[in-house]
């Protein structure tokens, strides 16, 4: 398993490299689904009482960054990777 590559932004947030993922999908109660295509970086805000939340930096089709703020409350997360030997790295 490869070592996680962290990026720390100007606000001090730590971002994990998830560029190996093709997409990631969050499923919420009631069946609501959020799918993020071409995710690149992930920041996790840990909250042991209320649950974690994620910020995901993804890339649009024209190569521009877009940030998704996925709030706590999801039931499951799933993703597909480019390299099957690197499914989970952090």
Cα diameter, the chain: 39
Residue 2 has pLDDT above 50, yes or no: no
Please report the pLDDT score of residue 12 as a whole number: 82
Residue 3 has pLDDT above 80, yes or no: no
pTM: 0.81
Please report the pLDDT score of residue 37 as a whole number: 97
Domain boundaries, the chain: 6-81
Please report the pLDDT score of residue 50 as a whole number: 83
Please report the pLDDT score of residue 4 as a whole number: 47
Size (the chain), residues: 90
Contact 51, 72 (CB under 8 A): yes
Q: Could you give the 3-state DSSP secondary structure of residue 62?
A: coil
Give the number of C-alpha atoms closer than 13 A to the C-alpha of residue 77, restricted to the C-beta side: 14
Residue 6 has pLDDT above 70, yes or no: no
pLDDT-derived band at 42 (thresholds 50, 70, 90) equals very high
């Amino acid at each position: 398993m490869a070592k996680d590559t962290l990026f720390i932004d100007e606000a001090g947030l730590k971002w994990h490299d998830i560029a190996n993922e093709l997409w990631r999908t969050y499923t919420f109660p009631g069946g609501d689904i959020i799918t993020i295509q071409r995710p690149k970086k992930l920041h996790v805000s840990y909250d042991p009482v209320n649950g974690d939340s994620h910020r995901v930096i993804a890339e649009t089709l024209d190569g521009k960054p877009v940030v998704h703020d996925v709030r706590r409350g999801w039931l499951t997360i799933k993703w597909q990777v480019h390299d099957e030997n690197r499914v989970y790295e952090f």
